[in-house]
Structure 1
Amino acid sequence: MAYAVRPTLAASAAVFRGPLVLLAQRGYAPGKGLWSLPGGRVEPGETLAEAAAREVREEVQVEADIIGLAAALDFISRDADGTLTSHFVVAAHAALWRAGEPVLSDEAVAVGWFHPEEVAGLATTHGLADVVHRAARLLATEGATAEGVAEGAAADQPQALAHAPS
């Protein structure tokens, strides 16, 4: 059976509300039933940070301020014969909760706020505990607080480069 072999670009966010991080239990494959960060595919014309914020809003109805890139991950799946079935490149961001209470959806069949130390004890997508700790360190390094985000942390994000049509 032939499979698409092009990598799919996706973005997610480790949304912190105080010391707790928001996780969602995946409702779809790949990783159905595993705890993960809310996230999904990047749409054409969208920056990685914009995609991460949109996906959090769409999946769990939470508004988040994206602070920075915490990690880039490859999720590569193969069938029993070793044939590539999927390849996702995920840009995982550190973010601060702004508004909204998480809700369930087809994509997020369970949601919860967890202490970063708890993540290692959950059934998660590959490397999630490390990503959560990286995001927490990034927020601490940036001195990010909910109050400081609106004043300028988001303005420090790299902007997408595009060429105007000639």
Structure 2
Amino acid sequence: MSDEGGRLRPPRPLLAASLACFRDGKVLIARRGKPPALGLWSLPGGMVKLGENAADAAVRELHEETGVRATAVALADVVEVILRAPDGVVERHVTILAYAGRWLAGEGATGPEATEIAWARPDRLGALETTPGLAAVVARAAALLP
């Protein structure tokens, strides 16, 4: 098993960023094509690169995963993901900075990291299989956008 570039059993928490991209009252969500949370709906996002601003990383990851261009408006939430093996050892520890953003261009496309995408109404996320807390993060992000 690959350690996914040092992401499994890391020596310290890792930093990631995601973007709740809104267009016409709907948010762009993606079905995860890679672990963790394979097959669940979530916000597009990924790891912040060394020297990269987290908001810029969220915008970059959104574009890389879906082809959509957006702007980050404000930090909406901080999500801690800590997964442990049966023996209690930390397998993953990622801090995700979730941003609220506005759509600029692109309809979206699927790829290896986003096997499906959808523009979803925030009040209907509860009916989907999502990563934990997604609906609450999206609601906080929506509240930040006039």
**Smaller-chain TM-score bracket:** over 0.9
> How far does residue 3 in structure 1 lie from its aligned partner after superposition?
2.6
Tell me whether 1:15 sits opposite 2:29 in the alignment.
Answer: no
Distance 1:4 1:72 in 2: 19
Instruction: Provide the residue aligned with 2:4 in structure 1.
Output: none
Stretches (4+) displaced over 2 A: 2-5
What whole-Å deviation, never above 9, does each CA across 1:41-63 have from its counterpart, x for those lacking one? 00011111100000001000000
Instruction: Provide the residue aligned with 1:29 in structure 2.
Output: 35
> How far does residue 4 in structure 1 lie from its aligned partner after superposition?
2.2
Instruction: Provide the residue aligned with 2:133 in structure 1.
Output: 127
Residue among 39, 43, 48 paired with 2:45: 39
Tell me whether 1:51 sits opposite 2:47 in the alignment.
Answer: no
1:52 partner letter: A
TM-score by length of 2: 0.92
> How far does residue 120 in structure 1 lie from its aligned partner after superposition?
1.3
Instruction: Provide the residue aligned with 1:97 in structure 2.
Output: 103
2:47 partner letter: R
Considering fraction of residues, name the structure with more strand: 2
User: RMSD between aligned alpha carbons?
Assistant: 1.1
Of all paired residues, the percent bearing the same amino acid is: 47
2:44 partner letter: P
Kept in 2, the 8 Å contact 1:5–1:84? The answer is no
Larger Rg: 1
Distance 2:11 2:37 in 1: 19
Considering fraction of residues, name the structure with more helix: 1
Distance 1:3 1:103 in 2: 32
What whole-Å deviation, never above 9, does each CA across 1:53-103 have from its counterpart, x for those lacking one? 000010000000110000001011111122110001000000000001110
1:5 partner letter: P
Distance 1:5 1:119 in 2: 34
Distance 1:126 1:77 in 2: 12
Distance 1:95 1:122 in 2: 22
